[in-house]
C-alpha cells in the first residue's frame, strides 16, 4: 500500500522567460510501484527522505539508494527506479533555459544521478512551498513555483553529502586564503594536492576552475570595500591581493564593466556619522529583528529551515497538501 499526492502544471511561454518553470510536484510514501524504464524531456528532482530502494541508469547497473538521497532525472537519460520495500519521496518536475547555467555551475549534475544528501529538510521546505502554491485558483502559481524551484536547487546543492552545507573543505580554505598573493599551484600545495586535483575539486563544486573562483572571491570583496568604505583604490587592491593598483583597476574594469572609482560613485552608501570608517565584515551582517506578531502577522512555530511547522503524516510525511487515498 502507498499514499500519493501530485499536481501538474502548464506554464505559458512568458513564464519560461523567468528561467525555470515548475511542471509538477508530488509527495508520496510507502511501497510505491517501479518507475520506468523511461526517458523524459525535462528535469526531475526526486528527494528521498526515508527508506531505500534501487536505481538503474542507461548502463542498466543497479545502484542501491539509501535515504537521505537525491535522484537527478535529466532529459534524454533513460532511468528505472523503485523503493525496496518502501520510501518517502517528494519530487519536482521542471525545465527552462536556466537549467543550462545550473548544470554548468554543478547544481545539476547529470554525471552523478544518485546523490547522497546530509538531510532533506530544506529541500522539502521548498517542495512544500510548491505544493501550497498549487492550491486551486492561485493566480500566482507559475511565478511562486518557479521561485521555489530556484530555492530547491540551492537547498539540494547545500545538502550534498560530498561537500557539506558550507562547501568542500578545500573551498572553505580557498575563501580564507583568497586574498594572499598565491598562485593556483601554491594553493594546491598547501592542501597536499596537484594543480589538476585542485581544479577537479573546485570545478565539481563550483562549475569553474580555481583561478576563476579565486578571482570571483577577490572581486566580490573589492566591491564590498569600494561600496562600503572610503579606502583609496590602491588600499582596496592590496587588501584583495594585488600589489599593483593599476593592474587591479584594469582587471576590475574588464570583469565588472566599469572602473573601481566609477563603481564607487555608483554604489557607495555614505551615512552621516562615520558609518564608512569600518571595513564591513562579510561574516557578521547586521541582524534585523523580525516584526512583532499582530493581527496581520500571527505567530507561528518555526519548522525546518525556518518554515512553519506542520504535523507529520504517516512515515514522517508532512501533511501540507491533502494526501490522496491509499492505492493498492
Residues 62-105 pLDDT 10s: 999 999 999 999 999 999 999 999 999 999 999 999 999 999 88
Q: What pLDDT does residue 172 have?
A: 82
Residue 105 CB neighbours (<10 A): 14
Planar angle of CA 269, 240, 155, nearest 5 degrees: 75
Give the burial class of 124: count Cβ atoms within 10 A of its Cβ; 0-12 exposed, 13-18 middle, 19 or more buried. buried
Q: What pLDDT does residue 321 have?
A: 43
How high is the mean pLDDT of the chain?
83
Q: What pLDDT does residue 94 have?
A: 98
In sequence order, which residues have a C-beta less than 8 Å from that of residue 178 and are 6 or more positions away? 214, 217, 218, 221, 240, 241
**Contact assessment for residue 314 and residue 29, using Cβ atoms and an 8 Å cutoff:** yes
Global pTM exceeds 0.85: no
Buried b (16+ CB within 10 A) or exposed e, 292-306: eeeeeeeeeeeebee
Q: How far is CA 201 from CA 112, 209, 256, in A?
A: 15, 9, 26
What pairing do the DSSP bridges indicate for beta strands 35-38 and 62-66? Answer: unpaired
- At 275-323, the pLDDT tens digits run 445 555 666 666 555 555 555 455 544 443 444 433 333 333 444 444 3
Averaged over successive runs of 10 residues, the pLDDT of the chain (328 residues) comes to: 91 95 95 94 97 95 96 96 96 97 90 92 95 93 96 93 65 86 88 87 80 90 88 92 93 93 80 50 61 53 40 40 38
Q: How far is CA 208 from CA 134, 202, 296, 300, in A?
A: 36, 7, 45, 41
Q: What pLDDT does residue 95 have?
A: 97
Q: Is the peptide bond before 68 cis (omega within 30 degrees of 0)?
A: yes
Q: What pLDDT does residue 286 have?
A: 60
Q: What pLDDT does residue 326 have?
A: 34
Give the burial class of 85: count Cβ atoms within 10 A of its Cβ; 0-12 exposed, 13-18 middle, 19 or more buried. exposed
Amino acid at each position: 500500500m502507498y499514499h500519493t499526492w501530485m499536481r501538474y502544471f502548464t506554464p505559458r511561454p512568458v513564464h519560461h522567460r523567468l528561467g525555470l518553470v515548475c511542471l509538477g510536484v508530488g509527495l508520496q510514501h510507502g511501497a510505491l510501484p517501479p518507475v520506468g524504464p523511461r526517458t523524459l524531456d525535462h528535469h526531475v528532482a526526486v528527494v528521498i527522505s526515508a527508506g531505500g530502494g534501487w536505481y538503474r541508469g542507461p548502463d542498466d547497473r543497479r545502484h542501491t539508494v539509501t535515504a537521505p538521497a537525491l535522484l537527478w532525472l535529466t532529459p534524454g537519460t533513460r532511468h528505472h527506479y523503485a523503493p525496496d520495500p518502501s520510501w518517502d519521496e517528494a519530487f519536482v518536475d521542471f525545465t527552462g533555459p536556466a537549467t543550462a547555467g545550473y548544470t554548468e555551475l554543478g547544481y545539476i549534475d547529470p554525471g552523478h544521478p544518485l546523490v547522497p544528501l546530509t538531510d532533506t529538510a530544506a529541500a522539502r521546505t521548498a517542495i512544500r512551498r510548491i505544493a501550497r502554491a498549487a492550491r486551486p485558483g492561485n493566480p500566482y502559481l507559475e511565478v511562486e513555483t518557479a521561485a521555489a524551484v530556484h530555492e530547491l536547487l540551492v537547498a539540494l546543492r547545500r545538502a550534498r553529502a560530498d561537500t557539506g552545507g558550507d562547501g568542500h573543505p578545500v573551498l572553505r580554505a580557498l575563501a580564507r586564503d583568497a586574498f594572499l598573493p598565491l598562485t593556483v599551484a601554491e594553493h594546491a600545495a598547501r592542501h597536499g594536492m596537484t594543480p589538476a586535483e585542485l581544479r577537479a575539486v573546485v570545478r565539481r563544486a563550483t562549475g569553474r576552475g580555481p583561478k576563476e573562483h579565486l578571482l570571483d572571491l577577490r572581486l566580490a570583496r573589492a566591491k564590498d570595500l569600494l561600496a562600503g568604505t572610503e579606502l583609496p583604490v590602491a588600499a582596496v587592491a592590496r587588501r584583495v591581493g594585488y600589489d599593483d593598483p593599476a593592474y587591479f583597476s584594469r582587471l576590475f574594469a574588464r570583469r565588472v564593466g566599469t572602473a573601481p572609482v566609477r563603481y564607487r560613485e555608483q554604489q557607495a552608501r555614505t551615512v552621516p556619522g562615520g558609518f564608512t570608517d569600518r571595513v564591513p565584515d562579510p561574516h557578521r551582517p547586521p541582524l534585523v529583528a523580525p516584526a512583532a506578531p499582530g493581527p496581520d502577522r500571527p505567530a507561528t512555530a518555526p519548522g525546518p529551515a525556518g518554515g512553519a511547522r506542520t504535523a507529520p503524516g504517516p512515515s514522517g510525511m508532512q501533511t501540507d497538501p491533502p494526501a490522496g487515498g491509499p492505492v493498492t
